[in-house]
Amino acid sequence: MPKPAIEHLLTRRSVFANTLGEPGPDSAQLSQILTAAVRVPDHKKLAPWRFILFQGEDRQEFGQLLVEICRREQPEPSAVRLEMEAKRFLRAPLVIAVVSRIKEPSPVPEWEQILSAGAACQNLIVAASALGFGVNWITEWCAYSPGVQQALGLQQNERIAGFIYIGTAAVKPDERPRPPLEEVVSAWNS
């Protein structure tokens, strides 16, 4: 049963990717999640983000590509490491790469465009978790890898804001401490 929005925001929790499994979102749910992702602040309507979906066998095929890239970019990766890379995108039924793309020339500062991509990541997380899925926003080495960027066809003005893993949580995550408001909130006084 869906929670009221404020209750959901106050209780939402990331779920470790290794604890996600089937089922993932069906096509109607995925459409809802992606529709929510594009409803973010977007100064001048630039859409400074795009999404790459990894589902089904494509996750395993991309894992083999990660193995090849890891061999090229990492110093002497172990067999255990390469096996982990092969299975990296198999941790959840759906992985969404969020690509931040800077539109130039533009009157919108680069920072605002990057923040919009971060907001798209957050909306993906909130929408998927509101539908009852476990979600985890991860970067890891592959988000910064030149080989992965090339394999995904990223242009000079693009970079990965994160990989959003979505599936059914095998276990409910424990709550973690959050900073007390008095440590992170202040009022401006002249």
Query: Would you call the peptide bond into 77 cis, given omega within 30 degrees of 0 as the criterion?
Result: no
Paired sense of beta strands 158-169 and 134-138, if any? antiparallel
Q: Are 14 and 137 in contact (CB under 8 A)?
A: yes
Rg (CA), the chain: 18
As a whole number, mean pLDDT of residues 13-23 equals 94
Q: Is the pLDDT of residue 1 over 60?
A: no
User: Which residues 6+ apart lie within 8 Å of 147 measured at CB?
Assistant: 68, 69, 72, 73
* pTM tops 0.85: yes
pLDDT value of residue 28: 98
What DSSP character marks residue 44? G
CA 66 to chain centroid = 17
As a whole number, mean pLDDT of residues 9-15 equals 89
- Under the banding of pLDDT at 50, 70 and 90, the label for residue 3 is low
Distance from C-alpha of 151 to C-alpha of 55, rounded to nearest angstrom: 17
CA distances from 15 to 55, 115, 125, 156 (A): 19, 23, 11, 32
As a whole number, mean pLDDT of residues 96-105 equals 96
User: Which residues 6+ apart lie within 8 Å of 52 measured at CB?
Assistant: 96, 97, 99, 152
Distance from C-alpha of 73 to C-alpha of 87, rounded to nearest angstrom: 18
pLDDT value of residue 167: 98
As a whole number, mean pLDDT of residues 45-54 equals 97
Domains of the chain plus CATH, in order, are 12-55+91-171 (3.40.109.10)
Residue 147 token pair: 């080989």
As a whole number, mean pLDDT of residues 86-109 equals 96
